Amino acid sequence: MRGAALVLAALVALAGCTEPPRGAAPATIVFKHAKILGPLDPIPGLLREFERRNPGVTVRSEPLTWTSDEQHQFYVINLDGATPAFDVLLLDLIWVPEFAQAGWLLDLSPWVTRGELAPHFPAAAAASVWNGRVWGLPWNMNVGVLYYRADLLAKYHLAPPRTWEELVEQAQRIRAGERDPKLDGVLWQGKQYEGLVVNVLEHFWASGTALLDEHDRVLPEPERAAAALGFMRGLLESGVSPAWVTAGDEELTRRPFGDGRAVFLRSWPYAMDLFEAAGSPVRGRVGIAPLPGHVAGAAGVGATGGFHLAVNRRTRHAEAAVALVRFLAGAEGQRAITAAGVALYPTRVDLYRDPAAVAAHPHMPRFHALALVARPRPVTPYYLMLSTTVQPEFSAALVGVKTPAQAVSYARRRLEYMLSGLR
């Protein structure tokens, strides 16, 4: 019976038809998702449209709290308890391999062909695939970018920096010229949390190394990793970054830059909407550039973040649930998140050239090139273990409690112990 359903579904998918079978029994599916922040929530409208197109299917949306840790905890407890209480879930892309490995997600491969992933940015699509199967579809995208004060750089005849070393030089020159003690050089996220790992990863990549290589070795080049951490520590020691960056998260660093009190900021696309909002002190004076590389390393590349849509393996309405996932991740579902007032960025490449989307967010084309080359964090089911293990070590290197070499060597030993219990 189940086999027949899968064959039927595969045939439907092959035929390129995105609609579920007509005349299916009435079903109510539950969609669990993070609360959407910002003035406009696109979800209710999308669900009503989906219901209109799928007579007999009702969708109930149940928002979760917005902190990522609480969402993870909710999903883990309920999915491990094999609950059928929700069908479709919105999840942070770093959890996709973890949940897939645990057997909590419905394998979407029978419905979703690789071709259906093609319209999405490669980094976003990569995060949906684990062990050769498709476990989710990307819904929104974040990419690490460098914001700079275009007016200040122009005043000193500078082009956006291509290396971190160049950035340091520019920041020092501008601060010396401005003689404003309240103007900081570069802000980034250095608090002991996931954001710190993202920032360190970007410096690793820019130095030509990684946290986890393609052979699943952790910190394969400890010297390069230590050098990258040493550079970040140097930003604090030289005063190019203020000392409080070691406690800074996205909002704590976004605000001072938005108040005109920093030359550079490493952040995500959502910040641009706030910089360009009416009444913003930096409106019209902010530029977007790729993250810098390192002189002796590689070109800079931003890490990706974002949410994916997946189906609970215990769902009683697989057809309707998969249809909802495909609708939300499809062209229309994602167009809705490009409306003015929504601070989410889609994963479908063509929307970054879409006239209506660009009218609502004029800077969208600038993110296009950056998202195209962006890189996902290690796609592995033990990513969270990796991250929580290295967070205190990276933080210790930044605040000078350990040398970068000590921090890297301790992180390696600890990770090897942790992972040895799993492999």
Partner 1 sequence: MTARERADRLAGLAFVSPALLALAALTVYPGLWVLWLSLQQRVPIFGIARFVGLEHYAFLAGDARFWNAGRVTLVFTAVSVGLELALGLAVALALQRQRAGRRLALSLLLLAWALPSVVTAKLFEWLYHPSAGLVNVILGGHAFNWLGDPRLALPGLIAADVWRTMPFVALLCYARLLTIAPEVYEAARVDGAGRGATLAYVTLPLLRPILLIALLFRTLDALRAFDLMFVLTGGGPASTTETLTVYAYRSLFQTLQLGFGAAVGCVIFALVMLVAWAYLRALRGEAATA
Q: Is 380 in the site for partner 1 (CB under 8 A)?
A: no
| Complex with partner 1: residue 32 or 326, whichever CB lies closer | 32
Minimum distance of partner 1 from residue 399's CB (angstroms): 4
Nearest to 90 by CA among 70, 71, 112, 111: 71
Q: Is 62 in the site for partner 1 (CB under 8 A)?
A: no
Token pair of 296, please?
């002796």
Give whichever of 245 and 337 is closer to partner 1, judged by the CB atom: 245
Choosing from 252, 336, 358, 373, the residue that interacts with partner 1 (CB under 8 A) is: 252
Spatial separation of the C-alpha atoms in residues 64 and 79, rounded to whole Å: 15
411: tokens are 């992180």
Residue 90 beta carbon to partner 1: minimum distance, rounded to whole angstroms? 19
Question: With CB under 8 A, what is the number of residues at the site for partner 1?
Answer: 46
Q: Exposed, middle or buried, 277 (CB in 10 Å: 0-12/13-18/19+)?
A: exposed
**CA-derived radius of gyration, the chain:** 22
Give the phi and the psi of residue 403 in degrees, each rounded to 5. -75, 155
Is the CB of 76 or the CB of 373 nearer to partner 1? 76
Please report, for residues 46, 128, 155, 187, the alpha-carbon distance to residue 117 in angstroms, rounded to integers and kept in the order given: 21, 9, 44, 35
Q: Of 138, 248, 305, 376, which lies in the binding site for partner 1, with binding defined by CB under 8 A?
A: 248
- Determine which residue in the list 9, 10, 40, 76 makes contact with partner 1, applying CB under 8 A: 76
48 scored as a contact of partner 1 (CB under 8 A) = no
Instruction: Provide the 3-class DSSP secondary structure of residue 12.
Output: helix
- Nearest-approach distance from CB 174 to partner 1, in angstroms: 18
Helix pair angle (383-399, 222-237), 10° resolution:
50
Q: Tell me the window of 86-94, 187-195, 275-283, 371-379 that interacts with partner 1 (CB under 8 A).
A: 187-195
Helix (H) / strand (E) element for 147: namely strand 145-149
Which residue of 56, 58, 158, 193 would you call a contact of partner 1, by CB under 8 A? Answer: 193
Is position 208 an interface residue for partner 1 (rule: CB under 8 A)? no
Structure tokens at 159: 């082009």
18 binds partner 1 (CB under 8 A): no
Residue span binding partner 1 (CB under 8 A) among the ranges 16-24, 125-133, 356-364, 377-385? 377-385
Sites for partner 1 among residues 259-298 (CB under 8 A): 261
DSSP string of 27-74, one letter each residue: EEEEEEEEPPPSS---HHHHHHHHHHHSTTEEEEEEEEPS-HHHHHHH
Among 396, 404, 408, 415, binds partner 1 (CB under 8 A): 396
Q: Which residue type, as a one-letter code, is found at position 257?
A: F
User: What residues pair up with 29 in beta bridges, in sequence order?
Assistant: 59
Q: How far is the CB of 132 from partner 1 (least distance, A)?
A: 18
Candidates 6, 10, 24, 102; binder of partner 1 (CB under 8 A) is 102
Q: Residues in the site for partner 1, rule: CB under 8 A? A: 69, 72-73, 76, 80, 98-99, 101-103, 182, 190-193, 242-248, 252, 256, 261, 381-382, 384-385, 388-389, 391-392, 395-396, 398-402, 410, 414, 417-418, 421-422
